[in-house]
Amino acid sequence: MDLTGKTAIVTGGSRGIGRAICLELARRGANVAFSYAGNAAAAQETVELVEQTGATARAVQGDVTCADAAKELVDAAKELGGVDILVNNAGITRDKLAARMSEEDFDAVIATNLKGAFLMTKAVLRPMMRAKSGAIVNMASVVGIMGNAGQANYAASKAGLIGMTKSIAREVASIGIRVNAVAPGYIETDMTAAMPEAAQQAMCSAIPAARAGKPEDVAHAVAFLVSDEAAYITGQVLAVDGGMAM
C-alpha cells in the first residue's frame, strides 16, 4: 500500500480519526492537505506529526459546509502536487430523541456530515476527471446502517453518505475514479468521549470483538481503500466495527 508521490485531502484532520488517517497516509508516502473547524492547536500538532514521517502537510481552517472552503483545500493540495485522494471525514453529532430534536440540530448535522462531503467531492471531481484517476473515501458509520435511538439526524446523514457513495461511484467508475465508504463502529475519540457513560457502555457491550476501536483501526482500512491494491473496489461500504453490524 505505497502512496509515494500522491497527495491526499482529509477533512477534519486535526483530531481523532481524521488525524490518524493523515498520519497513516503520510507514513505510506502521501503528502496531506487537511481541514479543521477551529482547533488551531490540534491542527498544528497534526502538521508536526505528519512532517515527522517525512511527508509535507498543510492545515487549512475552513467549514466543510462552505463551497469556498472546499476550493481552498483543493488549491492547497494542488500546491503539494495534485489531487489524488479525498477522505471526507469531518463530522459532528447533535444527539437528541427525535421528539425533542430541534430543526437546527437536524440541519446542522446534515449540512456538515452530508452536504460537506458533497461539496468537497464536487470540488475534486474535475481535477480527478482530468487525471482519469482518483480515490474517494466517505466516513459513514454503523449508525447509518443500523440506526440508533437519539441520532436520527446523524443516522440520516450517514445513510445519506452511503447512498451518495454508491451513486457517485457509478457515475465515475469508467473514468478511473473510485468512491467507497468506511463505516466505523465505536471508536475512542473526543466524539465518543462526549457521549453519556450509559450510552458508551451500551455500545461497547454490542461489540463482538469485545473492545472499542482505535482511530488507527479506521485509518488502516482507509489506506487500503485509497491504495492501488484496491483498484477494482468501488461503491462499497467497509465496516470497521469489531463485528457490531454483522
Q: Which is nearer to ligand NDP, 11 or 234 (CB)?
A: 11
Q: Which is nearer to ligand NDP, 173 or 201 (CB)?
A: 201
Burial (CB count <10 Å: 0-12, 13-18, 19+), residue 85: buried
Which residues is 182 bridged to in the sheet?
139, 238
Q: Which is nearer to ligand NDP, 147 or 176 (CB)?
A: 147
Catalytic machinery residues: 154
Q: 182 near 139, Cβ under 8 Å?
A: yes
Rounded CA separation 127/82 (Å): 8
Q: Which is nearer to ligand NDP, 7 or 189 (CB)?
A: 189
180 part of the interface to ligand NDP, by CB under 6 A: no
| In the complex, minimum distance from the CB of residue 186 to ligand NDP, in angstroms, rounded to a whole number | 5
Site for ligand NDP in 97-126 (CB under 6 A): 112
| In the complex, minimum distance from the CB of residue 185 to ligand NDP, in angstroms, rounded to a whole number | 6
- Residue of the chain from 14, 165, 180, 234 that contacts ligand NDP (CB under 6 A): 14
What's the Cα-to-Cα distance from 6 to each of 2, 51, 57, 210, rounded to whole Å?
Answer: 9, 15, 12, 36
- Residue of the chain from 25, 60, 83, 139 that contacts ligand NDP (CB under 6 A): 139
Helices in the chain by DSSP H: which ranges? 16-27, 40-52, 67-80, 103-110, 116-131, 143-146, 152-172, 190-193, 197-204, 215-226
Coil, strand or helix: which one is 27?
helix
Q: Which is nearer to ligand NDP, 16 or 134 (CB)?
A: 16
Rounded CA separation 207/242 (Å): 6
| In the complex, minimum distance from the CB of residue 14 to ligand NDP, in angstroms, rounded to a whole number | 4
150 part of the interface to ligand NDP, by CB under 6 A: no
Site for ligand NDP in 200-239 (CB under 6 A): none
Site for ligand NDP in 66-95 (CB under 6 A): 89-92
C-alpha cell at 146: 443500523
DSSP state of 187: B
| In the complex, minimum distance from the CB of residue 170 to ligand NDP, in angstroms, rounded to a whole number | 23
Residues that bind ligand NDP (CB under 6 A): 11-12, 14-18, 35-39, 42, 63-65, 89-92, 112, 139, 141, 184, 186-187, 189-192
